[in-house]
Structure 1
Amino acid sequence: LRTFACHLMRCMRCPVAYHTGDNCVAAGSVVITPHIIICSNHSSSKKNGHLTSPVNVGWCFICARGGRLLCCESCPASFHPECLNIEMPEGTWCCSECRAGRKPHYKQIVWVKLGSYRWWPAEICNPRLVPFNIQTLKHDIGEFPVFFFGSHDYYWIGRGRVFPYVESDRNFAEGQMGINKTFKKALEEAARRFQELKAQRESREALEQERNSRRPPPYKFIKSNKPVGKVQVHVADLSEIPRCSCKPTDESPCGRDSQCLNRMLQYECHPQVCPAGDRCHNQHFSQRLFAETEVFKTDRCGWGLRTKQDLKKGDFVMEYVGELIDLEECRLRIKHANENRVTNFYMLTLTKDRVIDAGPKGNFSRFMNHSCSPNCETQKWTVNGDVRIGLFTLCDIEAGTELTFNYNLDCLGNGRTSCHCGAENCSGFLGVQPRVSQSNNQKSARNAKLKPKKRKLKPENRQTHEYFCFCCGEGGELVMCDKKDCPKAYHLLCLNLTKPPFGRWECPWHECSVCQCAAASFCHFCPSSFCREHDRGALVPSALDGRPCCSSHDPQNPLGSQSDLNRATIKVEQPEPSEEPGE
C-alpha cells in the first residue's frame, strides 16, 4: 500500500480510490486534480428532471434465452432466477457484478443501447481524448463518451445502457436477422479492436510479471522478533544470566575453539556479565554478526539465499526472525493460507507455545530453501533469558554457494509438498526422511557382519504410498488414501477437489464406479473398480502378467503412455515443478 499510495486517485465525497490510468478509473468519474476525483457513484441519475433507469436486455446473460427474467436495477443485465439457483426476489435487486462494485472503464468494448436503435458495439473513450465539440456536450457525473463502430459517431451515455462485449459476441450477433452493412462493419471493427486491446493487456501483464519476477515477493524487513497479541519476549535479570570462566587475556575468549561453558550450553554471553567484556566472541545474536548474504532467483525452488563470503564449519550465518505468535494464531494463519491456496510457509517452532512466522515480517533467513542434504542447521540459543533460533553451517562453504537447511516439516492433513532440492538422497517430499545413501548402506552392512547374530523380529507393517498420482501418473502435491494397505495417491485437481479431504479419507478406487458400493475387483491401471454385482465382464486380463484392466485400456498395451509407465513401476524420479496453466 505504501508503494502505490502516491499513485491513487481518491474520491472527494466517499472512500473510493483507483489507481491512475484508464485501466482502473471507473468511466464517468470527474477528475478534479491529478489525485482527486468525484467517482461515478455520485451521479444525480436524472435526465431532463426525470429519474433514469437501466435498459435491460430481453435475454438471460447465462443461457441467452428469453422468458421470465430477473433484471438488475443498475445495469442492463437480466437472468432467469433458476439459472442463478435463487427464487424471484421482492423489491429491487442488483447483479453480482454491481454488488461487487465492478464498473465500466475506459478503453473497454461494450454494447450500447441508444434510443430505439439496436444494441450497438462501441468503445468507452476518455473525455480528454474525444473531439472538443463532444467534450462540451451536456452530461452528468457518471456519464462517459462512447465511440460507435461502423458509424464512427460519439455520444455520452450512462452505465445503465452499456454491458461488456466478450470475444464470442461477434458470432452471436452475426446469427441475427436483418444485419445491414453498417452493423456488419461495426461488428468487424469491434472484433478487431477487442483483439488489439486484449493483446495490449496481455503484453502489459507479461511485462508486469517479468518485473515482479526480478524481485522477491513483498514482506516487511525486521531485525528482531516482533511479538503479536499476548505473546511476550522474556527478559532475564542480570543475576540470572550464567557467567562463564573465560578471561580477557585468552587468545580468543568465548570463541568457537575455546572451552567457554556458555557456548557449549548454547547460551550467549551478556556483555555486562561475561568476564571477557568487550573481547567476548559469544555475542553473535545481540550484535547481529551475520554473514554477508544475498537473495537470488534459483532455477527450480523460487527465491533462495547464498553466501557472498567463504564460511567455515560451525560459523554463525544469521538469526531466524519474524513475528512471534502463539499456537492459536498459528492455526488460524494456516487455515487462512489453505483457504486461499497459499503453499509457502515460513513458520518455525520456537518453544512449546510460541512460533516464529517470517512470512509477513522477517529478514533474509526467510529465503533459505529446504534441502535433504543441507549445508546449514538451526540451533536454539538462550539470549538474555529468551530462546532464539540461529542458522549455523554444517560444513565449509565457498562464496556464491546457496545456503539450505532441512525444514523437518510436519505434513498437515493428507497433503504433501514436493521437494526439488536435487540432492542424491532426496526423499521427494518435504517432511519425509531422506533416503540413506549407498555408502551408508555398505558401511552398515560391514558393521552388521562384525556383530553377533540376533533373533530377527518381524518388522511392523508400515503403510507406504506411491509418489505419483494414480489418475494422471505425475508427481506433485498429493493426497493419500487412508485405507489400510492402500498405496494410492492423487492430485486434488484429478479428484475435482479444491481442499484436502478432512479426517479419514478413502480413495475412489474402493468404491464401485457404477453404484459406489464397496468394490470387489479393481483395475490395475486406473481408479476404476466394480462391486460383485457389476464386475461381470468389466475387467479382462492384460498382456502385463495378466493384471486386470477395464475397458478404458487396450489389454495388449494397457500402459498406453509414459505417465502410465511411471505409475506401473516402482522407480521414483525427482519431479520437476509444474507451471500453472495460462488463461
Structure 2
Amino acid sequence: MCTSFCLLLFFLCRLIRCIRCPLAYHTSDSCVAAGSVILTHHIMICSNHGSAKKNGLLTSPVNVGWCFLCARGGKLLCCDSCPASFHPECLEMEMPEGSWSCSDCRAGKKPHYKQIVWVKLGNYRWWPAEICNPRLVPSNIQSLRHDIGDFPVFFFGSHDYYWINQGRVFPYVENDKNFVTGQININKTFKKALEEAARRFQELKAQRESREALKQDRNSRKPPPYKFIKSNKPVGKVQVHVADLSEIQRCNCKPADEHPCSLESQCLNRMLQYECHPQVCPAGDSCENQCFSKRLYAETEVIKTEGCGWGLRTNQALKKGDFVAEYVGEVIDSEECQQRIKRAHENHVTNFYMLTLTKDRVIDAGPKGNSSRFINHSCSPNCETQKWTVNGDVRIGIFALCDIEAGTELTFNYNLHCVGNRRTSCHCGSDNCSGFLGVQPSVRMFEKARNAKMKQKKRKLRPEGKHTHEYFCFCCGKGGELVMCDRKDCPKAYHLLCLNLTKPPYGRWECPWHDCSVCSNPASSLCDFCPRSFCRDHEAGALTTSSLDDRLCCSSHNPLSPLGQCKRRHVSSSWHFEELTE
C-alpha cells in the first residue's frame, strides 16, 4: 500500500520524504499521511512527529466501545494510537500488559486525504466526515491552532470544519449507513450526514475505480516487463565459446564480386550457416554475411494481437531468406532449464520463451531478451529459426520463409515438445492448424476428415506407425489442455479435472486405463470407451463385445441399453478426432 513505508529509492519516483525519519510517500493525496507538514515539493515532516505524543504514542486516543471484529461490547483491548478496540479472544491472544497497538498502526497505516472517516469530537457522537487537505479548507480554518499530526475534517450534515488527529478517527466502510440507521435517537442533521457520507463514499469509490481502470488500460498497452539485452548472457556454469581466428571457416568470395557473401552468392559459409569473420573473410568490409555480429535487424514493432497476446510486426518489406533478428536471452544448462520449468508449473505460469541451442544449452528469453521473444507461433509461419555458428559459438537467428509485406505479423513454428506432460492449445487460426503446440500440422489431415465425412468410412481407432496422442480427453471427450500418458503405445490424454488433479503429474506418468478399476493391479482387459479396466481376477463378465467394430466395452457402454446409446453418441463424436490423427 502507498501509505506503508517507502524506504528505498525515493529519488527514482515522485516521492516526498520526511526530514526527521526515513519515511517517504508518493506525492498524491491518496498516499501522503494526513497531518504531515509539507515543507517543499520533496521534503516534509510526517505525522509521527507531533508534540501530542508521549513515548511515541498519542496521548488522547478515544477508543470505541465495541469490538472491530464482532461489533459487540465487553472487555476490550484498546489500541494506544487509534480508536480501534478488540476482544482478545477475537484476536486469539491473551490480554497484553502495558501499551499495545493494533496491526494497522504497527504497519504504519495512516489516514489520508479524501478519506471518509468517523470522528469523535467532544461529547458528540461518532460523526461521519471527510479528511481535507489543509490547502483546500477556508482560510479561517487554516488559521486555527493545530499541531503536526492534526488535519482538518469536513463534517457531513452540519458542514462544519475542525482539526482532529489520528486518535479520534477510524475509517468509514461501505454500508456503515445501514448499521447506524437501526439505532434510536437519530436527529435530522445526523440522518442527513449519513446520507451525504454514503453518497460521497460512493463518489470517491467510483473515482478510485476509474483511475484504477485507466491505469490497467495503460498497462495493457505495454507488454509485460522484461530486461532488454543485446546479446546472450550465460548463467551459472554455461560458457560462451570463442573460436581462434585460425579455426574460423574461410569462404571463397572475392571483394570484386557485386554482392560478396550475399543470399544470391555462392558463399560456402552462408551455405553451411557460418557467419564470416571480418578479419578472415576475403571480401573484407564488403562482406554481407555478418548480420549477427553487426545486428542488422529488420525494423519491427511489438503489437497487441487478437487472441494471441503480444506479437511482433515488421515495419519493412522482407524477402525470402532475409535475416530478421537474433533470438537473444539467458543461456542456461539443461538442469537449470528443468528447474525453471518446474517452478513455472508450480506457479501456474504458462508462457515459455525457451529454445534449444545445443544438446546441453537452452536460450531462455523470459526474464531477459530482445523483441524477438514476442514472435508468436503459427502452424503456417512466415519465418523460421536457424542455428548459425558465429565466431565459434552457436546462435539462433530468425529468417524469413517467404516474401513478407510491411505491416505483417511475424511468426514461426515453435516445434515444441510437450514439457511436463502438458499440451497447449494453438490459436494461430491457420488452415492447417494442428490444434496444439508441438503437433506437426498437415494439410492431408483435413482432406482425410472431409473424405471420411463424405464416404462415412470406418477407420481404425489407433493410428498405425508413429506413436501420437489423441486430441481429446478419454473421460469427457472434449479438447483443451491435456495431460498425456507416458506409457509406450498409449495415445490417451486427460483433463486434470477429469483425473481429480490440481497440478500436472511430474516425471513419467501412466494413465488409470492400465490399472484395474477394482484393485489397482495391472489391467489385462480394457474398455475401449472409457478408462475402466480389469485385471485377471476381476475381468470375468466385466466386459462385453460392442456392436461397434466388435470392440470391448464395460456395462456402462453397452450399446443396447439407453445409457449405452448415450455413450455411443459421445464416442462417435470422439472418432472424428481419432480420424484426424492418421
Fold-level match, TM-score > 0.5?
yes
Matched, 1:376 2:383: yes
Task: Report what 1:259 is aligned to.
Answer: 266
Matched, 1:547 2:553: no
Q: Deviations over 1:139-161 (max 9, x none)?
A: 33333222221222223333343
Instruction: Name the stretch that deviates more: 473-482 or 130-139.
Output: 473-482
Matched, 1:433 2:449: no
Work out the CA distance in 2 between the residues paired with 1:81 and 1:48: 24
The change in CA–CA distance for 1:440 and 1:206 in structure 2 (over 3 A counts) is closer
The residue identity in structure 1 corresponding to 2:563 is R
Among candidates 185, 195, 198, match of residue 191 of structure 1: 198
What SS class does the counterpart of residue 325 from structure 2 fall into?
Answer: strand
The residue identity in structure 2 corresponding to 1:426 is C
Q: Deviations over 1:531-553 (max 9, x none)?
A: xxxxxxxx99999973389xxxx
Among candidates 37, 53, 62, match of residue 30 of structure 1: 37
Distance apart, 1:381 and its partner CA: 1.4
The residue identity in structure 2 corresponding to 1:186 is A
Structural mapping, 1:462-473, within 5 Å: 464=470, 466=472
Task: Report what 1:297 is aligned to.
Answer: 304
Structural mapping, 1:458-537, within 5 Å: 464=470, 466=472, 487-490=493-496
Work out the CA distance in 2 between the residues paired with 1:363 and 1:500: 31
The change in CA–CA distance for 1:95 and 1:175 in structure 2 (over 3 A counts) is same
Distance apart, 1:315 and its partner CA: 1.6
Task: Report what 1:407 is aligned to.
Answer: 414
Among candidates 246, 253, 265, match of residue 253 of structure 2: 246
Give the RMSD, CA atoms, in angstroms.
Answer: 4.7
The residue identity in structure 2 corresponding to 1:247 is K
Task: Report what 1:168 is aligned to.
Answer: 175
Structural mapping, 1:266-281, within 5 Å: 266-281=273-288
Task: Report what 2:132 is aligned to.
Answer: 125
Work out the CA distance in 2 between the residues paired with 1:99 and 1:429: 51
The change in CA–CA distance for 1:485 and 1:392 in structure 2 (over 3 A counts) is closer
Among candidates 197, 201, 204, match of residue 211 of structure 2: 204
Work out the CA distance in 2 between the residues paired with 1:158 and 1:478: 59
Task: Report what 1:154 is aligned to.
Answer: 161
The change in CA–CA distance for 1:541 and 1:360 in structure 2 (over 3 A counts) is closer
What SS class does the counterpart of residue 123 from structure 1 fall into?
Answer: strand
Q: Deviations over 1:305-361 (max 9, x none)?
A: 112222222221111123445556656665666676654443333345544343444
Q: Is the 8 A contact 1:425 1:434 kept in 2?
A: no
Among candidates 1, 7, 14, match of residue 14 of structure 2: 7
Q: Is the 8 A contact 1:349 1:355 kept in 2?
A: yes
Q: Is the 8 A contact 1:469 1:490 kept in 2?
A: no
Task: Report what 1:111 is aligned to.
Answer: 118
Q: Is the 8 A contact 1:465 1:489 kept in 2?
A: no
Among candidates 313, 329, 332, match of residue 322 of structure 1: 329
Task: Report what 2:353 is aligned to.
Answer: 346
Distance apart, 1:127 and its partner CA: 1.5
Work out the CA distance in 2 between the residues paired with 1:383 and 1:102: 56
Work out the CA distance in 2 between the residues paired with 1:82 and 1:567: 61
The residue identity in structure 1 corresponding to 2:286 is R
What SS class does the counterpart of residue 547 from structure 1 fall into?
Answer: helix
Work out the CA distance in 2 between the residues paired with 1:152 and 1:469: 67
The change in CA–CA distance for 1:503 and 1:233 in structure 2 (over 3 A counts) is closer
Structure number with larger C-alpha Rg: 2
Instruction: Name the stretch that deviates more: 272-281 or 323-332.
Output: 323-332
The residue identity in structure 2 corresponding to 1:308 is N
Q: Is the 8 A contact 2:253 2:282 kept in 1?
A: yes
Work out the CA distance in 2 between the residues paired with 1:336 and 1:89: 43
The residue identity in structure 1 corresponding to 2:304 is K
Question: Which blocks of at least 5 consecutive residues in structure 2 are unaligned?
Answer: 1-7, 452-461, 514-528, 531-554, 578-582
Q: Is the 8 A contact 1:465 1:488 kept in 2?
A: no
Q: Is the 8 A contact 2:482 2:493 kept in 1?
A: no
The residue identity in structure 2 corresponding to 1:28 is G
Normalised to the residue count of structure 1, the TM-score between the two structures is 0.73
What SS class does the counterpart of residue 391 from structure 1 fall into?
Answer: strand
What SS class does the counterpart of residue 372 from structure 2 fall into?
Answer: helix
Work out the CA distance in 2 between the residues paired with 1:389 and 1:120: 68
Q: Is the 8 A contact 1:312 1:397 kept in 2?
A: yes
Instruction: Name the stretch that deviates more: 54-63 or 197-206.
Output: 54-63
The change in CA–CA distance for 1:193 and 1:161 in structure 2 (over 3 A counts) is same
Q: Is the 8 A contact 1:374 1:405 kept in 2?
A: yes
Work out the CA distance in 2 between the residues paired with 1:393 and 1:75: 66
Work out the CA distance in 2 between the residues paired with 1:469 and 1:299: 32
Q: Is the 8 A contact 2:472 2:574 kept in 1?
A: no
The change in CA–CA distance for 1:188 and 1:388 in structure 2 (over 3 A counts) is same
Task: Report what 1:521 is aligned to.
Answer: none
The change in CA–CA distance for 1:76 and 1:359 in structure 2 (over 3 A counts) is farther
Task: Report what 2:540 is aligned to.
Answer: none
Distance apart, 1:11 and its partner CA: 2.7
Among candidates 388, 398, 404, match of residue 397 of structure 1: 404
Work out the CA distance in 2 between the residues paired with 1:275 and 1:359: 39
Aligned length: 517
Among candidates 114, 119, 134, match of residue 141 of structure 2: 134
The change in CA–CA distance for 1:199 and 1:348 in structure 2 (over 3 A counts) is same
Among candidates 229, 233, 243, match of residue 236 of structure 1: 243
Instruction: Name the stretch that deviates more: 336-345 or 158-167.
Output: 336-345
Distance apart, 1:48 and its partner CA: 13
Instruction: Name the stretch that deviates more: 50-59 or 280-289.
Output: 50-59
Q: Is the 8 A contact 1:478 1:490 kept in 2?
A: yes
Q: Is the 8 A contact 2:118 2:169 kept in 1?
A: yes
Q: Is the 8 A contact 2:276 2:290 kept in 1?
A: yes
Work out the CA distance in 2 between the residues paired with 1:180 and 1:439: 79
Q: Is the 8 A contact 1:469 1:491 kept in 2?
A: no
Q: Deviations over 1:539-575 (max 9, x none)?
A: 99999973389xxxxx9xx9xxxxxx99987778xxx
Identity of aligned residues (%): 72
The residue identity in structure 2 corresponding to 1:433 is V
The residue identity in structure 2 corresponding to 1:199 is A
Q: Is the 8 A contact 2:474 2:492 kept in 1?
A: no
Task: Report what 1:424 is aligned to.
Answer: 431
The change in CA–CA distance for 1:289 and 1:480 in structure 2 (over 3 A counts) is same
Work out the CA distance in 2 between the residues paired with 1:546 and 1:126: 74
Question: Which blocks of at least 5 consecutive residues in structure 1 are unaligned?
Answer: 446-455, 510-523, 526-538, 550-554, 559-564, 573-583
What SS class does the counterpart of residue 213 from structure 2 fall into?
Answer: helix
The change in CA–CA distance for 1:136 and 1:410 in structure 2 (over 3 A counts) is farther
Task: Report what 1:180 is aligned to.
Answer: 187
Work out the CA distance in 1 between the residues paired with 2:423 and 2:108: 38
Q: Is the 8 A contact 1:468 1:475 kept in 2?
A: no
What SS class does the counterpart of residue 291 from structure 2 fall into?
Answer: coil
Work out the CA distance in 2 between the residues paired with 1:506 and 1:117: 72
Work out the CA distance in 2 between the residues paired with 1:568 and 1:246: 60
Matched, 1:40 2:47: yes
Normalised to the residue count of structure 2, the TM-score between the two structures is 0.73
